[in-house]
């Protein structure tokens, strides 16, 4: 099959991150599907994929093309399946061409653990022009579209974690000081802090210091400036440069504790199998907290971890510090480590999103 994926980059890198992963996984499937990825913000795309150029149409692999989605949009023949990521509205001229070709139209929705998602997944969306359009919801249960996961991802993770030299080389490439790398090799613990503005980052530093064990906190460049270059007797904070998707996965794999934000980073942190704190994208009327609570209810994490995540997302410094103190102490820490590993193993038993999507499209094309 030939897939068109339309991606409008709204903010940050979550939209293009999801679409680029999906494009690669469709192209790498056993059937080797052809994929055309339409992106409106090429410069943002270049931040996560260095091979992307600025030309209007380019081939990144033998079966992936990238089209710069401009106004007016380039005239191209639609594929068998057209994926509209996150209700981004493909150009009207392209929709007319889809009608002539008889393309299947998929509305790829945002990730949610809320119960209603199962009822709306794979439901048709009636179109006055006669096109067949369906909602496709990613999710955490077998009654949803599943999660993006490369076929050999967990094997890659295990191989990476088994070779300490790869971790040291990655950190060196990110200009982490040599004495910090040596400390990590000697048993210091590592946290990755990737959150939205306002996250109680200072509370995290104080809580890690209270463990009386050495910690290194890696912070992507430009985030959480209030804690950059903080040094306490047991905590070193190191700012690191922006990394591509593969580098981000490896940072997650090599960290003992991951603080992540948005949907794409959450899924990658889940596949790392390590304790994580999710900073969900903030919405009006605290709708995001309802989504967070639904996800926590499915997670199998200890109650104390759920309380920490709620405090973290409410940006409550005192409460976050109190709950961090609780979960970082033994035996609570061991319980969290075990629960995180179980959740990853459970999710890995389900088919991945790209597989579910191609199966659905093959039945409906």
Of 15, 84, 249, 325, which residue is the catalytic one?
15
**Nearest CA among 365, 362, 357, 363 for reference residue 26:** 357
| C-beta separation of 249 from 220 below 8 A | no
In sign, the C-alpha dihedral spanning 120, 123, 126, 132 is positive
Determine how β-strand 64-68 pairs with β-strand 57-61: antiparallel
Closest CA relative to residue 277, chosen from 345, 206, 336? 336
- Establish whether 209 is a catalytic residue: no
CA–CA distance, 257 with 337 (Å, rounded to integer): 9
Catalytic residue flag (residue 80): no
Q: Are 162 and 175 in contact (CB under 8 A)?
A: no
Q: Residue 256 corresponds to which tokens in the numbers above?
A: 């003992």
C-beta of residue 43 within 8 angstroms of C-beta of residue 289: no
- Number of neighbouring beta carbons within 10 Å of residue 233: 7
Which of 4, 84, 249, 263 is catalytic? The answer is 263
Active site residues: 15, 263
């Amino acid at each position: 099959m030939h897939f068109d994926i339309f991606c409008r980059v709204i903010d940050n890198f979550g939209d293009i991150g999801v679409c680029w992963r999906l494009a690669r996984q469709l192209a790498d499937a056993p059937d080797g599907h052809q994929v055309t990825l339409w992106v409106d913000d090429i410069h943002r795309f270049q931040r996560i994929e260095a091979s992307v150029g600025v030309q209007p149409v380019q081939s990144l692999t033998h079966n992936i093309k990238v089209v710069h989605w401009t106004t007016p949009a380039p005239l191209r023949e639609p594929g068998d399946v057209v994926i509209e990521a996150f209700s981004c509205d493909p150009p009207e001229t392209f929709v007319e061409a889809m009608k002539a070709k008889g393309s299947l139209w998929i509305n790829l929705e945002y990730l949610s653990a809320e119960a209603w998602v199962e009822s709306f997944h794979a439901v048709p969306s009636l179109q006055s022009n006669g096109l067949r359009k369906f909602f496709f919801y990613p999710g955490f249960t077998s009654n949803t579209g599943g999660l993006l996961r490369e076929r050999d991802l967990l094997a890659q993770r295990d191989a990476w974690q088994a070779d300490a030299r790869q971790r040291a080389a990655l950190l060196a490439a990110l200009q982490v000081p040599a004495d910090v790398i040596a400390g990590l090799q000697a048993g210091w613990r590592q946290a990755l802090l990737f959150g939205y503005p306002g996250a109680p980052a200072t509370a995290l530093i104080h809580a890690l210091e209270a463990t009386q064990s050495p910690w290194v906190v890696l912070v992507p460049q430009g985030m959480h400036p209030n804690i950059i270059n903080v040094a306490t007797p047991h905590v070193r904070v190191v700012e690191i440069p922006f990394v591509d998707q593969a580098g981000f996965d490896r940072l997650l794999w090599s960290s003992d504790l991951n603080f992540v934000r948005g949907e794409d980073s959450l899924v990658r942190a889940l596949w790392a199998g390590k304790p994580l704190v999710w900073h969900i994208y903030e919405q009006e009327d605290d709708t995001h907290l309802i989504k967070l609570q639904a996800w926590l209810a499915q997670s199998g994490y200890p109650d104390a971890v759920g309380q920490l995540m709620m405090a973290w997302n409410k940006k409550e410094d005192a409460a976050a510090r109190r709950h961090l103190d609780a979960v970082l102490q033994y035996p609570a820490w061991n319980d969290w480590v075990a629960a995180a590993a179980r959740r990853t193993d459970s999710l890995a038993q389900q088919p991945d999103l790209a597989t579910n999507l191609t199966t659905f499209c093959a039945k409906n094309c």
